[in-house]
């Protein structure tokens, strides 16, 4: 079983809704407990490589699950946008996320923080 993270706002054109790969539908955010067979079907889809290049889709195997006790950086300003988004996606702490939001000026990173906070508060994690 794997987790697939979909960031449709990184696709072209950007969107904020589900993405369908033939009969396989992914919702924005974390798609949990996806079977290995479904992951292989997704990887073999002709559109998958482009979504992967855009950074709009990421497959996380069970071995690389999010560790809630992993140390988090105190600032995101020293990171580029892609690194900051990865850190944000792996952060389970709303207080830490909101602290980063106060000091962050990059709109892309601010949106990623807001999406993550919304996902955690909405029980989407």
Predicted confidence (pLDDT) per residue in 73-108, tens digit: 677 888 888 888 888 888 888 899 998 988 888 988
Task: Report the percentage of the chain scoring pLDDT > 70.
Answer: 87
CA triple 12-91-85, angle to 5 deg: 30
pLDDT at 1 over 70: yes
Torsion sign across C-alpha atoms 124, 2, 94, 26: negative
Is there a single domain that holds both residue 58 and residue 6? yes
36 and 2 Cβ atoms separated by less than 8 Å: yes
Residue 72 confidence (pLDDT): 64
| Cα–Cα dist 112/81, whole Å | 10
pLDDT at 58 over 70: yes
Is there a single domain that holds both residue 20 and residue 57? yes
Q: Among 38, 64, 90, where does a domain finish? A: 64
Q: Share the mean pLDDT of the chain.
A: 84
The pTM of this model reads 0.58
pLDDT at 125 over 60: no
Is there a single domain that holds both residue 88 and residue 54? no
Residue-range definition of the domain harbouring residue 105: 81-121
């Amino acid at each position: 079983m794997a987790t697939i993270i979909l960031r449709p706002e990184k696709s072209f054109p950007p969107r904020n809704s589900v993405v369908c790969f033939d009969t396989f539908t992914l919702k924005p955010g974390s798609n949990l407990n996806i079977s290995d067979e479904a992951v292989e079907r997704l990887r073999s889809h002709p559109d998958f490589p482009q979504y992967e290049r855009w950074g709009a889709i990421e497959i996380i195997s069970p071995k690389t699950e999010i560790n809630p006790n992993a140390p988090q950086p105190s600032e995101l300003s020293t990171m580029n946008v892609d690194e900051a988004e990865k850190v944000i996606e792996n952060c389970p702490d709303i207080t830490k996320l909101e602290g980063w939001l106060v000091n962050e000026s990059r709109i892309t990173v601010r949106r990623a923080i807001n999406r993550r906070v919304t996902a955690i508060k909405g029980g989407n994690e």
